[in-house]
């Protein structure tokens, strides 16, 4: 390697490291201060805690009902994503394999609908569904997520199914398999890579969504972003506890990411490029 290339690499490394530090710094600041008491935070937010106290965390855990909101978030995300996978893969299979006017128009409407911002629907939406929402918060929210997510997910599956040769379907049908059996036993397992993409893109969006849960959910069914926001609003004066609450809100998704890092990165690049 030439001296010039080595120099270039050092410069890249230096810039990269400074940026990485800058990107990480806010999280560091929150974590450090979550272990401190209020006077210590105000004296110097950058100082390392003189003695570590987990008291802030204990307070935040109970005050923001951490485990209840975590459970709600998990239930809502897992159910919505699973149902989205089932429904959109089936619809995409129909749309990709049936060539007629109906399927062409349905596909066109789905693709066009992706440009509509949620804000354009939000007001009539709430007026129309208020009753349904008060009857079952979580169920209603999951139902809405399927409605909002089905277009993009179907679109992603559609692109993938088009690459699977139709001979496979024909062979299955000659062997006497019904449409349903052929789809679930043979086609669906072949789509594992795109299923991972659909799962990750939707999970990230639903886990972090704020506006829809804010409109739909009540106290008992709050998700994590919602309870974090409300907790912070109420206790932001108690800096230490507020910071502990933020650390708790961040941890689950970061763990999930670190466990599935490869799938995340390939999922997002697949999902964006299609």
Partner 1 sequence: MASARSTKKFLKFALTPLAIFTVVLIVPFVNGVYYTFTDWDGFETTKLVGFKNYTKSFQDPTFWSTLRFTGLFVLVSLVLINVVAFGLALIVTSKLKSRNILRTFFFVPNLIGGVVLGVIWQFIFNSAIVALANKYNWELFKESWLQDTTKAFWALIIVTVWQSSGYMMIVYITGLVSIENDVLEASQIDGASPLRTLLSIKVPLMAQAFTIALFLTLRSGFQAYDVNVALTGGGPFRTTELISLHIFQDAFANGNFGTGQSKAVVMFLLVALAALVQVTISKRYEVQR
Can you tell me which of 74, 78, 164, 268 binds partner 1, judged by CB under 8 A? 268
Residues 37-56 that bind partner 1 (CB under 8 A): 41-46
Neighbouring C-alpha atoms within 13 Å toward the C-beta of 89: 23
Distance of closest approach, residue 134 Cβ to partner 1, in angstroms: 15
Exposed/middle/buried for residue 224 (C-beta within 10 Å: 0-12, 13-18, 19+): buried
Does position 31 interact with partner 1 (CB under 8 A)? The reply is no
Nearest partner of 95 among 146, 152, 162, judged by Cα: 162
Instruction: Give CA–CA dist 129/232, Å, rounded.
Output: 29
Residues 182-201 that bind partner 1 (CB under 8 A): 183
Does position 18 interact with partner 1 (CB under 8 A)? The reply is no
Closer CB to partner 1, 27 or 54, in the complex:
27
Instruction: Give CA–CA dist 268/142, Å, rounded.
Output: 23
Can you tell me which of 3, 48, 115, 174 binds partner 1, judged by CB under 8 A? 115
Does position 253 interact with partner 1 (CB under 8 A)? The reply is yes
Distance of closest approach, residue 151 Cβ to partner 1, in angstroms: 7
| x/- track of binding to partner 1 for residues 207-246 (CB under 8 A) | xxxxx-------------xx-xx--x---x--x--xx--x
| Candidates 63-71, 89-97, 160-168, 186-194; binding stretch for partner 1 (CB under 8 A) | 89-97
Closer CB to partner 1, 19 or 108, in the complex:
19
Contact predicate 212/141, CB 8 Å: yes
Can you tell me which of 35, 90, 152, 191 binds partner 1, judged by CB under 8 A? 90
DSSP per-residue codes, 26-47: HHHHHHHHHTS-HHHHHH-TTS
Distance of closest approach, residue 167 Cβ to partner 1, in angstroms: 18
Query: In terms of DSSP H, where are the helices of 98-187?
Result: 101-113, 119-135, 137-161, 167-174, 179-181
Does position 26 interact with partner 1 (CB under 8 A)? The reply is yes
Contact predicate 263/196, CB 8 Å: yes
Does position 94 interact with partner 1 (CB under 8 A)? The reply is yes
Closer CB to partner 1, 148 or 160, in the complex:
148
Main-chain dihedrals φ then ψ at residue 114, nearest 5 degrees: -70, -15
Can you tell me which of 7, 54, 82, 123 binds partner 1, judged by CB under 8 A? 123
| x/- track of binding to partner 1 for residues 124-163 (CB under 8 A) | xxxxx--------------xx-xxx-xx--x---------
Kindly state the tokens that stand for 88.
């959109």
Question: Which residues, other chains included, contact 133 with Cβ-Cβ below 8 Å and sequence gap of 6+?
Answer: 126, 140, 216
User: Contacts with partner 1: how many residues (CB under 8 A)?
Assistant: 89
Kindly state the tokens that stand for 182.
């052929």
Closer CB to partner 1, 11 or 171, in the complex:
11
How far, CA to CA in Å, does 180 sit from each of 98, 176, 188? Answer: 15, 12, 10
Closer CB to partner 1, 20 or 171, in the complex:
20
């Amino acid at each position: 390697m030439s001296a010039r290339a080595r120099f270039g690499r050092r410069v890249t490394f230096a810039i990269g490291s400074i940026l990485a530090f800058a990107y990480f710094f806010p999280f560091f600041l929150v974590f450090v201060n979550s272990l401190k008491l209020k006077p210590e935070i105000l004296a110097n937010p950058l100082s390392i805690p003189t003695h570590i106290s987990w008291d802030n965390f204990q307070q935040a855990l109970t005050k923001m009902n951490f485990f209840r909101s975590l459970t709600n978030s998990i239930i809502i995300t897992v159910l919505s994503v699973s149902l989205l996978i089932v429904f959109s893969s089936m619809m995409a299979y129909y749309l990709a394999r049936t060539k007629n006017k109906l399927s062409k128009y349905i596909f066109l409407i789905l693709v066009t609908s992706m440009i509509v911002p949620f804000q354009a629907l939000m007001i009539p939406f709430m007026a129309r569904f208020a009753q349904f929402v008060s009857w079952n918060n979580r169920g209603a929210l999951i139902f809405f997520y399927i409605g909002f997510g089905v277009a993009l997910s179907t679109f992603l599956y559609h692109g993938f199914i088009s690459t699977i040769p139709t001979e496979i379907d024909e062979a299955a049908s000659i062997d006497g398999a019904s449409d349903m059996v052929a789809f679930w036993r043979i086609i669906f397992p072949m789509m594992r890579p795109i299923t991972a993409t659909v799962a990750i893109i939707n999970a990230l969006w639903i886990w972090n969504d704020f506006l829809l849960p804010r409109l739909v959910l009540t106290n008992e069914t709050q998700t994590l972003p919602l309870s974090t926001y409300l907790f912070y609003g109420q206790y932001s004066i108690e800096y230490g506890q507020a910071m502990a609450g933020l650390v708790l809100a961040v941890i689950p998704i970061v763990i999930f990411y670190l466990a599935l890092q490869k799938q995340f990165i390939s999922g997002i690049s697949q999902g964006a490029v299609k």
